[in-house]
Amino acid sequence: MMKTIKIYFVLLAIIIAAFSVNADDGYGLWLNYQKAPEPVLKNYHQQIKSMMVLKNSPTLKVAENELFKGLVGILGRQVSVVSEIEEGSVVAGNISALNSLLNEKIKSEIKDAGEEGYIISSVESEGKNIILITANSDVGVLYGVFNFLQLLQTGKDIGKLDIISSPKVKIRVLNHWDNLDRTVERGYAGFSLWDWHRLPGYLDPRYTDYARANASLGINGTVLNNVNANPAMLTPQFLEKAAALADIFRPYGLKVYLSVKFSSPVDIGGLNTADPLEIDVQEWWKKKIEEVYSYIPDFGGLLIKANSEGQPGPQNYDRTHAEGANMLADALAPFGGIVMWRAFVYDNNVPDDRAKQAQNEFKPLDVQFRDNVLVQVKNGPIDFQPREPFHPLFGAMPGTPLMMEFQITQEYLGQATNLVYLAPMYKECLDSDTYAKGEGSTVAKVVDGSLENHKLTGMAGVANTGNDRNWTGHLFGQSNWFTFGKLAWNHELTSEEIAEDWIKMTFYSDSEVVASIKKIMLESRETTVNYMTPLGLHHIMGRGHHYGPGPWVTGGRPDWTSLYYHKADKEGIGFDRTPSGSNATGQYFKPVADMFANLETCPEEYLLWFHHLPWDYKMKSGKTLWEEICIHYYDGVKSVRNMQVAWGALQDKIDSEKFKHVQMLLSVQEKEAVWWRNSCVLYFQTFSEMPIPNGFEKPDQTLEYYRKLTFRFAPGN
Ligand code: BDP
């Protein structure tokens, strides 16, 4: 049999060079493809002899390069690229290209893989054992290739592969809160990745690396600009720049979306109104969208923040959110575009309880939205706090597809100095039972459409990327980008599984190291809740920049103060959201509403979210509420110190650059945890008038000292 064997010596040399320079500054993310350790390496050498990608598209070309790069790195040797299968070939291609190699089982199973899913299967063909990676679409093949490489990176047995995987939600997007001047709202990893000034002429190679990283996770869309949108985004000058990015992202299956300002027809269109029921306004949007598609033929659609935090919206014209969204949806529909309309609303009139506002405004609009509209809902009803109960809108709008909005950037979770692995937080929300249709109506089922049979589904993550060399500021921020992508594809994965894969792909270490890092990660979120906002406390951070504690923040708009949320006074602490208070509990379905409203059944982690209680209230532990608050704050600090010790023990076991980076940040985190603890305990003590329990170290600074700290140039503000 004739074989054409091309060995890519040049490429190999480049890859080897790339690995030896800056290998571990974090730039390579989870995609460095280091050589597999023994004994798996030996097996892989036996099982993988060559590769073949049937390519006739830019996407498959990307898949081929990736597979080659991955195999060379992981196997630590040259890899033959063949044009006919041989024993030990890894063969990738879409189903039409590979038709002759597919057995009946694959032919029937592939139907279930959908547009973007894939199959990875060990098969025998023409008497040869090969590994097939196939999909209905080219991007499915690319996802399959990345997944196959992940199996190798994480040391999995590839002897008898029989994998079929498809995404549980359709729109899996990052939301960049990036401004056109390159600052990033709530961004802590440097400036925006998008160098707007030099686009479209200069195409930073990093754009390709960004697309590749997202494709490796199955993320299929990116909203380039801030939800607090600058109308200039829709001018030809910026559309041309966005189009240049879209061209780079396209082979990776990554669609471009844009955030728009509702008043754009006035701001850049010269109209004197943005009223969605005005014909001129509708026409303006139709033309504008047509223009957008002339730049970006596969444009994904629009993300809108309207009538929230001062942003304009349909309510400025006495129209509803649905009327606003539908106008845009009508303009996008002919091109297959969608609208992601945010439910994060609170207007200039301070409501009785901000936690209730989204449901009050949106629930009555159920079934009024066009088919190509998703309502995008934050995981909790306030605002990305370290812990919130799930948003009561989930399950409450059965006629409307609701999209999840998670925050990956750690606005309220220590920004880029704290190690906080967010999977447990995302999972806590996704696994919550709304009881919308009885037991088992989880938030995940609302979001993936299975509860109400919605086909248009989505999950958005507010990105934590910037132009820092390691992309996310804190190396462990990468794990949260990774987690978001993995959960958007499959929300059934556990926090533990995701952590384990990420660690193996990032640190290439033995099982002891993996176990130790995993423990740090899995405990980190609860640790952070403890030293920031235990027992249901929320929104007590510094004003404006949100950096550090600010339980004393008062003055100005009430629902921008901390006092509004903790309501501490001599009598007690907490926000009464039961029927005797704001009755936010009444927005949940029956058993959940009662569970939260009833002190006996309300989980203690949400206690002060839903209840105002006296300082000497008896907790389940038998201790008073005051004592428990102190215990949680002190536990939080203790756990950070434990993390430091656990990390310190890894010194000789992981790359020194990564080790030092994290070690320094952990010491910053320890100081910040102490700062949070002392500030909150001293502040709340002025009301409780009770002592810090015996045996706890006394704060080494006064409350006055903490109150006076100012941070003029905190990032992300
Ligand atoms: C809050 C942020 C603010 C955002 C807003 C939003 O502090 O910067 O603009 O959310 O989601 O968390 O629109």
Span of 347-356, 484-493, 532-541, 677-686 with lowest mean pLDDT: 347-356
Residue closest by Cα to atom 1 of ligand 1: 383
Model confidence at 351: pLDDT above 80: no
SS (H, E, C) 475-541: CCHHHHHHHHHHHHHCCCCCHHHHHHHHHHHHHCCCHHHHHHHHHHHHHHHHHHHHHHCHHHCCCCE
Domains and CATH numbers, the chain: 31-165 (3.30.379.10), 171-492 (3.20.20.80), 529-575+612-707 (3.90.1330.10)
Of residues 323, 383, 627, 672, which has the active-site annotation? 383
Residue closest by Cα to atom 2 of ligand 1: 186
**What is the CA(346)–ligand 1 centre distance, in A?**
11
Asked whether the beta carbons of 54 and 88 are under 8 A apart, the reply is no
Mean pLDDT of 454-478: 98
The β-bridge relationship of strands 89-94 and 162-165 is: unpaired
Of residues 411, 468, 501, 627, which has the active-site annotation? 411
Q: Residue 21: which pLDDT band, with cuts at 50, 70 and 90?
A: very low
Q: Residue 698: which pLDDT band, with cuts at 50, 70 and 90?
A: very high
Model confidence at 16: pLDDT above 80: no
Instruction: Quickly list DSSP for 12-62.
Output: HHHHHHHHHSSTTSSTTTT---PPPPTTHHHHHHHH--EEEE---SHHHHH
Specify the ligand 1 atom closest to the Cα of 226: 9
Residue 309 annotated in active site: yes
Specify the ligand 1 atom closest to the Cα of 308: 13
Specify the ligand 1 atom closest to the Cα of 412: 12
Q: What is the predicted pLDDT for the residue at 546? A: 97
Q: What is the predicted pLDDT for the residue at 177? A: 98
Quote the CA–CA distance of 372 and 378 in Å, as a whole number: 19
Of residues 283, 309, 492, 571, which has the active-site annotation? 309
Specify the ligand 1 atom closest to the Cα of 185: 8
Q: What is the predicted pLDDT for the residue at 20? A: 40
Phi, psi of 435, deg, nearest 5:
60, 20
**What is the CA(289)–ligand 1 centre distance, in A?**
26
**Which of 175, 176, 186, 404 has most ligand 1 atoms within 8 Å of CB, for mutation?**
186
Residue closest by Cα to atom 10 of ligand 1: 383
Q: What is the predicted pLDDT for the residue at 23? A: 52
Q: Residue 12: which pLDDT band, with cuts at 50, 70 and 90?
A: very low
Residues above pLDDT 70, as percent of the chain: 97
Residues above pLDDT 90, as percent of the chain: 94
**What is the CA(226)–ligand 1 centre distance, in A?**
10
Specify the ligand 1 atom closest to the Cα of 384: 12
**What is the CA(518)–ligand 1 centre distance, in A?**
30
**Which of 342, 383, 557 has most ligand 1 atoms within 8 Å of CB, for mutation?**
383
Instruction: Provide the mean pLDDT of the chain.
Output: 95
Model confidence at 19: pLDDT above 90: no
pLDDT by residue (tens digit) across 532-564?
A: 999 999 999 999 999 999 999 999 889 999 999
Model confidence at 10: pLDDT above 80: no
**What is the CA(308)–ligand 1 centre distance, in A?**
9
SS3 121: strand
pTM: 0.96
Span of 150-159, 213-222, 463-472, 502-511 with lowest mean pLDDT: 502-511
Quote the CA–CA distance of 277 and 280 in Å, as a whole number: 9
**Which of 179, 228, 379 has most ligand 1 atoms within 8 Å of CB, for mutation?**
228
Quote the CA–CA distance of 167 and 156 in Å, as a whole number: 21
Specify the ligand 1 atom closest to the Cα of 186: 8
Quote the CA–CA distance of 233 and 242 in Å, as a whole number: 9
Residue closest by Cα to atom 9 of ligand 1: 228
Residue 411 annotated in active site: yes
Residue 267 annotated in active site: no
Least Cα distance to 531 among 678, 654, 397 occurs for 678
**What is the CA(228)–ligand 1 centre distance, in A?**
8
Quote the CA–CA distance of 500 and 154 in Å, as a whole number: 8
Residue closest by Cα to atom 13 of ligand 1: 227
The β-bridge relationship of strands 221-223 and 255-260 is: parallel
pLDDT by residue (tens digit) across 303-341?
A: 999 999 999 999 999 999 999 999 999 999 999 999 999
Least Cα distance to 186 among 557, 554, 388, 466 occurs for 466
Beta bridge partners of 259: 303
Q: What is the predicted pLDDT for the residue at 627? A: 98
Residues within 6 Å of ligand 1 by CB: 185-186, 227-228, 305, 309, 344, 383-384, 411
**What is the CA(411)–ligand 1 centre distance, in A?**
9
Quote the CA–CA distance of 227 and 187 in Å, as a whole number: 13
CA distances to 410, 670, 683, 684, 709 from 703, in Å: 26, 19, 6, 10, 10
pLDDT by residue (tens digit) across 431-449?
A: 999 999 999 999 999 999 9
Q: Residue 286: which pLDDT band, with cuts at 50, 70 and 90?
A: very high
Specify the ligand 1 atom closest to the Cα of 407: 12
DSSP letter (8 states) at residue 692: P
**What is the CA(186)–ligand 1 centre distance, in A?**
8
**What is the CA(650)–ligand 1 centre distance, in A?**
37
Model confidence at 621: pLDDT above 90: yes
E strand or H helix at 64 = helix 58-75
**Which of 309, 376, 539, 546 has most ligand 1 atoms within 8 Å of CB, for mutation?**
309
Model confidence at 8: pLDDT above 80: no
pLDDT by residue (tens digit) across 475-533?
A: 999 999 999 999 999 999 999 999 999 999 999 888 999 999 999 999 999 999 999 99
Residue closest by Cα to atom 11 of ligand 1: 344
Q: Residue 94: which pLDDT band, with cuts at 50, 70 and 90?
A: very high
Specify the ligand 1 atom closest to the Cα of 305: 13
Phi, psi of 686, deg, nearest 5:
-65, -20
**What is the CA(477)–ligand 1 centre distance, in A?**
19
Q: How many CB atoms lie within 10 A of CB 279?
A: 8
